[in-house]
Structure 1
Amino acid sequence: MNSKLLFLAAIPCLIAPAHADAVLRIHDGKEWKELDQAAWDKLPRAELIGKARDGTEKRFSGVPMVEILKFAGAPLGDALRGGEMNRVVLFTAADNYQTVYSLAELDPSFGKQNIILADQVDGKPLDEFEGSRMVVAGDDLRHSRWIRQVKQIILTRATPPAP
């Protein structure tokens, strides 16, 4: 899939999400942070054109994942190296479905970042099924990590079990 990510700079959201009162909980590895609607509206936005589950092309709009990670205080860019390279980002949906990305694959300094936390599709708020926010990974060939109804994000480490 060869989707495109279009940055929209710091343009305020003109269409409120279907669930404007939704607060996104983010754990930075030490403590919980809350990203409320007022803070969400101040973040830079981007659009991503990709194929929805039904195969139709859609224009998704939301916040680039790197901006969410900056809000969380994640190590990015030159700070993401050495012992930080085992960091992962765990997304949990309202129905407790979970998916994970490595922190490096969400950091644009490691490659083309084409993942947003969308709150709109085709210029309209996401519907009840999709929830207030959903992960859209434009370059994923399958939609298994396009997690809908995102309620929390946890920055953690991938650690092997004890021997």
Structure 2
Amino acid sequence: MNFKPLLTLAAICLIAPLTAAPSLRLHDGKEWKELDAAALAKLPRVEITAKARDGKEKRFSGIPLAEVLKLAGAPAGDTLRGAEMNRVVLFTAADNYQVAYSLAELDASFRKQNIILADQVDGKPLDEYEGPLMVVAGDDLRHSRWIRQVKQLILTRAIAPAS
């Protein structure tokens, strides 16, 4: 019996999940949008240098989060003021770990932009532990908000409970 086709199929099944193209679910406050690899590839890219979890300086490449938020209709620049200042972005990882950023933290008119949705480190795709997409916040002193294996982001509001 020829096992070569069966072994080839088994190898494909094992490798395919590790090389899956990045995709992202995006909720704009009203509905979900699916951003596949082709949609993400159309967005502008940047590189930042930051200390990784291992303490070494690395070059991360990816999409500025502000560009992803444009697809959700998020206010930016001069329109991000007043009642819009309670907007937050909630990121969820594959293991359901969640991290929140204020919308202002992700806006170039408020701070230096060094928070990206990375898909590469030092010119190579992120490994299966961190990727295919990871939020990298270059100025954070701790890595608790460097959320790996990002699957979705939700643009929402931080609302105080009624008194």
Normalising TM by the smaller chain, what interval?
A: 0.7 to 0.9
- CA offset digits 1:71-112 (Å, max 9, x no partner): 211011111111111000000000000001000110001121
Q: Which has the higher contact order (CA 8 A, sep 6+)?
A: 1
TM-score (norm 1): 0.86
Q: Is the contact made by 1:18 and 1:131 (CA closer than 8 Å) also made in structure 2?
A: no
Report the structure number with the largest CA radius of gyration.
Answer: 2
Please name the residue that 1:35 is paired with.
35
CA distance in structure 1 between the aligned counterparts of 2:89 and 2:77, rounded to whole angstroms: 16
- CA offset digits 1:5-33 (Å, max 9, x no partner): xxxxxxxxxxxx9421x320010111111
Please name the residue that 2:161 is paired with.
161
CA distance in structure 2 between the aligned counterparts of 1:18 and 1:145, rounded to whole angstroms: 24
Q: CA RMSD in A?
A: 1.2
Q: Are residues 1:150 and 2:150 paired? A: yes
Match of 2:127, as an amino acid? D
Q: Are residues 1:75 and 2:75 paired? A: yes
Please name the residue that 1:19 is paired with.
20
CA distance in structure 1 between the aligned counterparts of 2:19 and 2:50, rounded to whole angstroms: 21
Identity across the alignment (%): 77
Unaligned runs of 5+ in 2: 1-17
Unaligned runs of 5+ in 1: 1-16
Instruction: Tell me how many residue pairs correspond in the alignment.
Output: 146
Q: Is the contact made by 1:18 and 1:125 (CA closer than 8 Å) also made in structure 2?
A: no
List, as ranges, runs of 4+ consecutive aligned residues in structure 1 with deviation greater than 2 Å: none
Q: Are residues 1:96 and 2:96 paired? A: yes
Please name the residue that 1:117 is paired with.
117
More helix by share: 2
TM-score (norm 2): 0.86
CA distance in structure 2 between the aligned counterparts of 1:79 and 1:18, rounded to whole angstroms: 39
Q: Is the contact made by 2:23 and 2:40 (CA closer than 8 Å) also made in structure 1?
A: no
CA distance in structure 1 between the aligned counterparts of 2:128 and 2:111, rounded to whole angstroms: 33
Matches within 5 A, 1:32-71: 32-71=32-71
